[in-house]
C-alpha cells in the first residue's frame, strides 16, 4: 500500500479546506504535507467515531505512544507516513504531543471557560498544524511561531462558527419540519371533523 496515496485520499474526504490548500504547495512537498494533514484529520475525527470518552482516550493514547516513540504504527498507513515525515523533516515531537493532549478536550462535553482557554486550544491544534506545515515546506523563521499562532486561532474560530451555524441551521430545519407536520396534521384533523359534521347533519344527527 502506498501510505502517502492513502493520506491524500483521506484528506480529500475528511478535510476539504486543507486538501485544496495543499494544491498550491510545491509538488515536492505536497505528499508530506498531506501526511501531516491526514494525521490531524485522524485525531480530530476521533470524537465522532466513539460513543464513550474512554474509547476516544484509547485511540488518542495510541497516537501519543507513536509520537513519543514508545509505540508502533502497526498496519496504520497514516501512522507510518507520519513517522516518515517526522524523520525526514526533523519535525519537533512536542507540538504533536500537545496537539494530542488538546484533542482529549473534544471527548468531553465541556465548554471553554475563557477566551484564553479557546485560544490556547486553537494554538495547540490549528496553529501547531500550520507551524509544522511551514517546516515541511522549509519555511521556518523567527516569525513562524507568531504567524502560525495567529493564523491557527483565526482559522479555528472561523471554522468553529461555521460548524455552530450549520448545527443551528439543522436544528431550525428540524423544528420547522416538525411544525409543518404538526400543521398538516391539524389541517387533516380539522377536515375530518368537518366531514363528520356534514354527515351528521345529513343524517339528522
What is the per-residue pLDDT across 130-164, written as a single tens digit (0 to 9) for each? Answer: 999 999 998 665 556 677 888 888 888 777 655 55
pLDDT tens for 3-25 read 999 999 999 999 999 999 999 99
* Within-domain flag for 70: yes
Domain span holding position 20: 3-166
For residue 174, being part of any structural domain is answered with no
Say which CATH number the domain at 61 has: 1.10.600.10
The rounded distance, in Å, linking the Cα atoms of 143 and 149 is 10
Residue 201 domain-assigned?
Answer: no
Q: How far apart are CA 100 and CA 53, in angstroms?
A: 14
Domain presence at residue 177: no
Domain count, the chain: 1
Please state, in angstroms and rounded to a whole number, the distance separating the CA atoms of residues 26 and 84.
19
- Residue with the bigger pLDDT between 41 and 157: it is 41
Q: Which residues contact 42 (CB under 8 A, 6 or more apart)?
A: 10, 63, 78
Residue 201: pLDDT band by 50, 70, 90 thresholds? very low
Tell me if 102 sits within 8 A of 124, measured CB to CB: yes
Contacts 24+ apart (CB under 8 A), 117-121: 118/157, 119/153, 121/156
**Does residue 189 belong to any structural domain of this protein?**
no
Is 48 part of any domain? Answer: yes
Rounded to two decimals, the pTM is 0.76
Residue 113 lies in a domain: yes
126 domain-assigned: yes
Q: For cell 486538501, what's the residue? A: 19
Amino acid at each position: 500500500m502506498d501510505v502517502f496515496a492513502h493520506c491524500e485520499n483521506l484528506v480529500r474526504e475528511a478535510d476539504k479546506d486543507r486538501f485544496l490548500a495543499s494544491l498550491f504547495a510545491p509538488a515536492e512537498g505536497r505528499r508530506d504535507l498531506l501526511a501531516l494533514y491526514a494525521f490531524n484529520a485522524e485525531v480530530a475525527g476521533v470524537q465522532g467515531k466513539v460513543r464513550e470518552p474512554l474509547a476516544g482516550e484509547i485511540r488518542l493514547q495510541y497516537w501519543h505512544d507513536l509520537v513519543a516513540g514508545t509505540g508502533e504504527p502497526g498496519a496504520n498507513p497514516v501512522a507510518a507516513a507520519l513517522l516518515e515525515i517526522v524523520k525526514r523533516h526533523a519535525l519537533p515531537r512536542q507540538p504533536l504531543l500537545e496537539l494530542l493532549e488538546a484533542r482529549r478536550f473534544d471527548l468531553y462535553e465541556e465548554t471553554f471557560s475563557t477566551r484564553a482557554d479557546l485560544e490556547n486550544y486553537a494554538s495547540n491544534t490549528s496553529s501547531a498544524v500550520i507551524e509544522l506545515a511551514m517546516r515541511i515546506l522549509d519555511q521556518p523563521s523567527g516569525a513562524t511561531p507568531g504567524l502560525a499562532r495567529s493564523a491557527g486561532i483565526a482559522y479555528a474560530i472561523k471554522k468553529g462558527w461555521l460548524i455552530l451555524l450549520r448545527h443551528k441551521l439543522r436544528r431550525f430545519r428540524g423544528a420547522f419540519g416538525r411544525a409543518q407536520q404538526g400543521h398538516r396534521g391539524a389541517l387533516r384533523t380539522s377536515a375530518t371533523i368537518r366531514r363528520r359534521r356534514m354527515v351528521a347533519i345529513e343524517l339528522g344527527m
